[in-house]
Structure 1
Amino acid sequence: MTESLRALLQCQGNDHRRLTHRFEAENGHGWHEPGAAPVNSDVSVVIPAFNVDHCLRAVLDALAAQTLTPEVVVVDDASTDGTADIARSHPVVDRLIRLPARLGAATARNVGTAAASGSTIVFLDADMVIPPHVIADIAARATSDAVLIGFRHNIAHGAELPPAPDIHADHRVTWRPPVDTPLMYSRIVLDQPLDGRPLDDTRDLVDLGYGRTYYDWDLPRMVVTALLAVPRSALIDVGGFDPEFGRLGWGMEDTHLGAKLIAAGLLVVPLRQAVGFHLDPPDAAAAWQAKLATWPSTLRHYRRLLEAPMPRDVAASFTATAHRQLSRCEVYR
């Protein structure tokens, strides 16, 4: 009988220290130290975008200021504001793809992956402004067997940006969950306040291998597409993102992708220096409540997929589906 995705996760460790130590020995440069010279410039940034004209220009300006300029693919998920116009006119954008109808971020990322040419795909949210060293640091460390995760520092709409983003603003680094309330993911209830440090307390995620948890966190849930680098071949081999998440609502498509990549044998490795500013929309509170309203549906879908067999031999179908969707899109440049 074919093993479930959940069962396969129990078999995969996440001791990435051989990878990070080898990098440091070969380069004389700390894994988390910014400024390493990239040995591979074959990087594509894929940005799914829906009604983000309040922040997209700043995101693209930050990409234009990178010490290593990547290929940039923006996939407009049928926006009704000025998103497409901003992307079309910005010189850093190599390709703008406009979906014929709103299909969700999962489909947008799949289409962008099919259109991209890089061997490393960096998924960047359309509201993430990254410092100039981030893409070069990713390129210097990207390998065929690792998923590299970055972090985000939320900034209220209209607020002035601090001199540099702070990794401790990310809830995967500093986490203070509610008391006497079921936690969103695991549903466990804490009876006293917790000053959690998920990244530190798991030794940079090493201790989250083999299906282990840290309170509400497990290894797949650490995989967040706000800033994430994935080997393109591995991404295609596991079938990319499940588009059903986009139809159901918000969340979990990146967690599911992480689960598939981990089950396929990839390591999940944090880059502590890869931190971007996440620019909140003008209606941040209402937008967050709308997302949370759909969370139970996407979580149930994820749970069902965990009990299903790991997708196998799906690269050809992923490529065919993505290119078929791409053929129906408006493509600029």
Structure 2
Amino acid sequence: MDSASVVVPAREEAAHLERTLDSLLGQVFDGELETIVVASGSATLAAAREHPVTDRVLVDERENGPGTARNRGVAAATGDLLLFTDADTVVPPKWVRRHRRHCATPSVVGVGGPLRPITDAVRHRLLFRLLSDWWYRVSWPVGFVQQPGCDCSARRSAFEAVGGFDESLPFLEDTDLSLRLRDEGLVVYDHTCPVETSARRQREEGYLPLFLAYFVGYLEYAIPGRSPTRAHFR
């Protein structure tokens, strides 16, 4: 698999996007790599268009959430391997290579990795380790796979077979995609492939309220005919 596309949704992220794109510019990858930014907000669009790593910028006219933006980016992408990260996230230099290495196993259709906070604050470091690494290590083996939207990838063939992200979900769209990808093959958790991402939501909302909101979302997702529709995540 020699071609890969990175899709970055960016809604009003001018202050953070350059740092994300800088990290993609430094990727150690021996195949064809393209970067597609799906953006809204004039300053964010300008930042995306001016950055040398960007191959294509799409205007996110619908502003219907990251799932819709990611689907639009995939529609314009050419890579056989699709990678997703966010505009407030920094990926390591071998991020694309580490995701691609799993594709050497034909049965693997998706990969997810852990999250680390960009901040050095000990509280965030510990809680991210617990909730965005060890939680995955426990839940993945029992079948509850949860590729985080800012550190995940999928084979194009599998992504298209399951219909991409469900645009009706205001959140948990990444978990939903992960669970549907399982119908096509193996979804792997690679604990050696972390990314650093913003802890602003955790700072603003608090870890406990976020945990409870996601817990309720998981329950709603698991009940037939229900979906996580809390306005908090719209």
Q: With structure 1 as the length reference, what TM-score do the two structures score?
A: 0.57
2:156 to 232, 238, 263: 232
Aligned positions, number:
219
Residues 1:145 and 2:107 are matched in the alignment: yes
Residues 1:135 and 2:132 are matched in the alignment: no
Q: Which amino acid aligns with 1:104?
A: G
- Contact 2:84–2:153 (8 Å) recurs in 1: yes
Residues 1:253 and 2:173 are matched in the alignment: yes
Larger radius of gyration: 1
1:103 to 64, 81, 90: 64
C-alpha change, 1:85 and 1:148, in structure 2 (3 Å) is same
C-alpha change, 1:240 and 1:100, in structure 2 (3 Å) is same
SS in 2 for 1:91: coil
2:131 to 161, 171, 174: 171
SS in 1 for 2:63: coil
Q: With structure 2 as the length reference, what TM-score do the two structures score?
A: 0.79
- Contact 1:150–1:227 (8 Å) recurs in 2: yes
- Contact 1:155–1:277 (8 Å) recurs in 2: yes
Residues 1:272 and 2:232 are matched in the alignment: no
Larger relative contact order (CA 8 Å, sep ≥ 6): 1
Unaligned runs of at least 5 residues, structure 1? 1-39, 176-197, 210-218, 309-333
Can you list the C-alpha shifts for 1:260-299, whole angstroms capped at 9, x where unaligned? 111x242121222211111234994149899779758855
In 2, the alpha carbon distance for the partners of 1:124 and 1:149 equals 11
C-alpha change, 1:44 and 1:290, in structure 2 (3 Å) is farther
Residues 1:42 and 2:42 are matched in the alignment: no
In 1, the alpha carbon distance for the partners of 2:72 and 2:206 equals 25
Can you list the C-alpha shifts for 1:130-189, whole angstroms capped at 9, x where unaligned? 111111122232255321111110123xx69xxxx99x72624345xxxxxxxxxxxxxx
Q: Which amino acid aligns with 1:254?
A: D
In 2, the alpha carbon distance for the partners of 1:252 and 1:307 equals 15
Question: What is the identity percentage for the equivalent residue pairs of Structure 1 and Structure 2?
Answer: 28
In 2, the alpha carbon distance for the partners of 1:104 and 1:47 equals 12
Q: Going by fraction, where is helix more abundant, 1 or 2?
A: 2
In 1, the alpha carbon distance for the partners of 2:117 and 2:97 equals 23
